[in-house]
Amino acid sequence: MTARITILGAGPGGYVAAIRAAQLGAEVTLIERDNIGGVCLNWGCIPTKTIKTTTDLMAGLNKASELGLEIEGRATVNLDRLMRRKKEVIEAQTTGILKLLKSYKVRYLRGHGHVLDAQRVRVEPATGGPLEIVSDKLILATGSRPLALKAFPFDGRRILSSSDALNLQKIPASICIVGGGVIGCEFAFIFAGLGSRVVVVEALARLLPLPGIDQECSKVLEREMKKRRIQFLVNRVVEKAEIMEDRARVTIAASPFADEPKVKNAPPLLEEVETVLVSIGRDSNARGLGLEALGLEMDDRGWIAADARMETNIPGVYAIGDALGPAKVMLAHVASAEGLTAAENALGAGREMNYDVIPSAVFTTPEVGCVGLTEELARARGRDVRSEILHFRGLGKAQVLGEIAGHVKIVADRKSGRLVGVHIIGPHATDLIAEGTLAVRMGATLEDLASTIHAHPTLPEALMEVAHKALGAPIHSARETAGEAGRGH
């Protein structure tokens, strides 16, 4: 008999799981209460990067004279057109995914799903009466939503979530971004690019304070923010936001995590801004869906527990993506990889997710791309590693592009020379990290990277050159300055 699979949530986790399950011959029902594509397509990856493309182009045009191009006047933003383009990009993707689902004969239901038991889901469609879907296996891909602060909840006007910030009616003259993680930093460059005065407030000691992101990437990013007059405060928290008719007054106090006496004892700062964007993390969508009654294991914040096969404590019920919370990795490509794993296992495979080699991409200016272990993490795990850095300013292609800020850093096992981590901040770092990911995944050595001929002049040459440098024979560093930046080629 054909296996029946129900998938709740059609983000990059759920719709990818649906396609794989259908490819494997299952009868698939995919339930989504909002738009297909989830946060990633509608409120996350795609809209942010569409807007960033415009602000990057504008920044490029405004420095065109450096590249020998004279443009009369300055480039300015047409917000209506920009929002329309964002919508068009989303619609093109949405249409594509719906066509794919149709071609694989996935039954797509638009409505709110409620889990009755491991085999039955009740769907309340936008129009018409409720339906009951019966299946053999269930995949929960319900994702996440912006986490609000109790002290000043989202109102869509003065206090914005990341979703509100992507539906701009007007560019704010000033904005305070609460949280200097990936989403906060990406928005800082977006709003600065749109012309807003930006203040970022981060509770921990550095921007992008994620264990997988190298500290030196944070340092370069902080320097680049300063260059663009993006103000940031670390070791601080926004304690209060008083809402006024046309602005908000925020009180910025020492963070409870701050240990420096200078910060701890400093008086609170007051900042008046037009808007506040809260980007302090994500909240689970999984509460109140009937999962508690099912006895499904969840933590007190509603994040679902799943094993490496993506199966929950209830046999035949799988969970993937953001619904697993920060204990796993909350990224679109991870949700999709987990979706493939869950779909295959639901149909009899025995696959396990490997979280060791997951790239992250941060779309700031310059971009950040990281994979594998940082030097600190590797040492904390008892690994004997060494690292090497190559600055982009020594690379021909970076000079050609006029984008010389940043570096490539590699971390390798001291004895075997195997790469355990690659950390890039610089032009196109989010694309460059693909080579680093493959290298770490395949267990490549410094010698492998150095002896792979790279096309010239390209940015990936930085990976080859840093490997040469780590092997003690950098081609583009003068003998006496080997260990410093190269002289370019």
User: What residues are labeled active site?
Assistant: 456
Residue 175 found at the interface with ligand FAD (CB under 6 A)? no
Mapped onto helix, strand or coil, the DSSP state of residue 400 is helix
Which range of residues in 99-107, 137-145, 198-206, 307-315 is near ligand FAD by CB under 6 A? 137-145
| Nearest of 374, 304, 370, 378 to residue 342 by alpha carbon | 304
Which range of residues in 42-50, 126-134, 388-396, 477-485 is near ligand FAD by CB under 6 A? 42-50
Residue 359 found at the interface with ligand FAD (CB under 6 A)? no
- The answer to whether the beta carbons of residues 175 and 197 sit under 8 Å apart is yes
Kindly compute the dihedral angle of the four CA atoms of residues 165, 171, 174, 176, in this order, to the nearest 10 degrees.
Answer: 0
Smaller CB separation from ligand FAD, 341 or 387: 341
Residue 122 found at the interface with ligand FAD (CB under 6 A)? no
Pairing of strands 27-32, 107-117: parallel
Residue 333 found at the interface with ligand FAD (CB under 6 A)? yes
Residue of 138, 141, 203, 273 that binds ligand FAD (CB under 6 A): 141
Token couple for 200: 């970022």
Residue of 4, 7, 13, 206 that binds ligand FAD (CB under 6 A): 13
- The answer to whether the beta carbons of residues 162 and 183 sit under 8 Å apart is yes
DSSP notation for 95-146 = HHHHHHHHHTT-EEEEEEEEEEETTEEEEEESSS--EEEE-SEEEE---EEE
Residue 341 found at the interface with ligand FAD (CB under 6 A)? no
Residue 330 found at the interface with ligand FAD (CB under 6 A)? yes
Token couple for 312: 């929950």
| Footprint of ligand FAD on 228-287 (CB under 6 A) | 285
Residue of 5, 6, 7, 8 that binds ligand FAD (CB under 6 A): 8
Which range of residues in 32-40, 99-107, 195-203, 403-411 is near ligand FAD by CB under 6 A? 32-40
Residue of 5, 11, 446, 465 that binds ligand FAD (CB under 6 A): 11
Mapped onto helix, strand or coil, the DSSP state of residue 429 is helix
Nearest approach, Cβ of residue 485 and ligand FAD (Å): 30
Residue 369 found at the interface with ligand FAD (CB under 6 A)? no
Pairing of strands 197-201, 231-233: parallel
Residue of 322, 344, 461, 465 that binds ligand FAD (CB under 6 A): 322
Smaller CB separation from ligand FAD, 30 or 234: 30
| Nearest of 451, 447, 367 to residue 185 by alpha carbon | 367
Residue of 4, 20, 33, 236 that binds ligand FAD (CB under 6 A): 33
- H helix or E strand, kind and range, residue 377: helix 375-380
| Locus of tokens 């509460």 | 287
User: What span, in angstroms and rounded, lies between the C-alpha atoms of 72 and 75?
Assistant: 9
- H helix or E strand, kind and range, residue 290: none
Residue 9 found at the interface with ligand FAD (CB under 6 A)? yes
Would you call the peptide bond into 457 cis, given omega within 30 degrees of 0 as the criterion?
Answer: yes
Task: Tell me how many residues contact ligand FAD (CB under 6 A).
Answer: 38
Binding mask 176-215 for ligand FAD (x = CB under 6 A): -------x--------------------------------
Residue 113 found at the interface with ligand FAD (CB under 6 A)? yes
| Locus of tokens 């020594």 | 394
Nearest approach, Cβ of residue 196 and ligand FAD (Å): 17
Q: Which residues bind ligand FAD (CB under 6 A)?
A: 8-14, 31-34, 38-40, 43-45, 48, 112-113, 141-144, 162, 183, 285, 289, 321-323, 330-333, 335, 361, 363
